[in-house]
Amino acid sequence: MIDFALLRAEVAIHPYRLLFATVSGAHLYGFPSPDSDYDLRGAHILPASEAVGLLPKRETLEVAGNRGALEMDLVTHDVLKFFTMLLKRNGYVLEQLYSPLVIQSSPEHVELKRIARGCITRHHSHHYLGFATSQWDLFRKENPPRVKPLLYVYRVLLTGIHLMRTGKIGSNLIALNEDFRLPYIGELVNRKITGVENSALELPEFEFHHSEYMRLTGQLEAAAIKSTLQEEASCRDALHELLVRIRLPNL
């Protein structure tokens, strides 16, 4: 169970007003271990005097620490940087924005979620293909290879395929697998949650997952080709107008 009250208390001490803060990481992906830390992500709003001045701008703030037995990692970007990342086909910030595990919201957060639908393009497939490749490389280089990075490989691939097919962000591996019905996902998640994620994968098991990685990569590539998503983002003007209203509310 996520202690939302504790997480809200954590983000309440942020030095800037937050557009939103959500939970990312293993809790969002559907396979947290009992001792998994909390990855909190969001966007903050620099006041106009700091945003346009000559002093260094705190575009990204990161705070990590322990709250009792819980480890937390809070990372936020200023709204200008966050909006710019949205326009760069960054699936990671889309997942943060649309995370259903909301710690703090605002009317502008709700508006941004509506506008950001126009940021989603067919070319977001490149983000997920590249991310899956890097995760697989990390997995195969481990000795012995562990379950946790393998789950991240599958999570990334299924999220990308789902996005190409539906235009919707889905980050929870368990929920995604209700459509994909991959029989091994439940067993891998169980190994992660019950604390045996560091157990070694035997060679036949490794070869099977390599075959699945290649098969699902092909599915993502095919889904991108067939996708009816737009080629370019259509939300730049709307993001600009929202940013101006956030930064200069009395303009």
Is the Cβ–Cβ distance between 18 and 105 less than 8 Å? no
Q: How far apart are CA 89 and CA 126, in angstroms?
A: 8
Place of tokens 């006041």: 47
Model pLDDT, residue 56: 86
DSSP helix/strand/coil, 167? coil
Model pLDDT, residue 250: 61
Model pLDDT, residue 197: 53
Strands (E), 156-232: none
pTM beyond cutoff 0.85: yes
Model pLDDT, residue 200: 64
Residue 78 CB neighbour total at 10 angstroms: 22
Least Cα distance to 85 among 41, 27, 54 occurs for: 41
Model pLDDT, residue 38: 93
Q: Transcribe 2-63 into DSSP letters.
A: --HHHHHHHHHT-SSEEEEEEEEHHHHHT---TTPPEEEEEEEE--HHHHHSSSPP--EEEE
For residue 100, give the amino acid letter. Answer: P
Asked whether residue 228 carries a pLDDT value surpassing 70, the answer given is yes
pLDDT digits (tens, 9 = 90+) for 53-103: 888 899 999 988 777 667 889 999 999 999 999 999 899 999 999 999 999
Q: How far apart are CA 237 and CA 231, in angstroms?
A: 17
Give the number of C-alpha atoms closer than 13 A to the C-alpha of residue 152, restricted to the C-beta side: 22
For residue 26, give the amino acid letter. Answer: A
pLDDT digits (tens, 9 = 90+) for 170-199: 999 999 999 999 999 999 999 888 875 556
Model pLDDT, residue 199: 60
For the record, the structure tokens of 11 come out as 């983000």
Burial class (CB in 10 A: 0-12, 13-18, 19+), 15: exposed
Residues in the chain: 251
Model pLDDT, residue 111: 98
Asked whether residue 251 carries a pLDDT value surpassing 70, the answer given is no
For the chain, count helices (H), then strands (E).
12, 5
Model pLDDT, residue 202: 75
Strands (E), 88-235: 102-104
Question: What domains appear along the chain, each with residue ranges and CATH number?
Answer: 4-116+234-247 (3.30.460.10), 124-226 (no CATH)
Question: Cβ neighbours of residue 152 under 8 Å, at least 6 residues apart?
Answer: 29, 135, 139
pLDDT digits (tens, 9 = 90+) for 22-42: 999 999 999 998 878 899 999
pLDDT band with cut points at 50, 70 and 90 for residue 8: very high
pLDDT digits (tens, 9 = 90+) for 162-171: 999 999 999 9
Least Cα distance to 110 among 24, 46, 20 occurs for: 20
Q: How far apart are CA 214 and CA 52, in angstroms?
A: 47
8 phi and psi angles, rounded to 5 deg: -65, -35
pLDDT digits (tens, 9 = 90+) for 99-133: 999 999 999 999 999 999 999 999 999 999 999 99
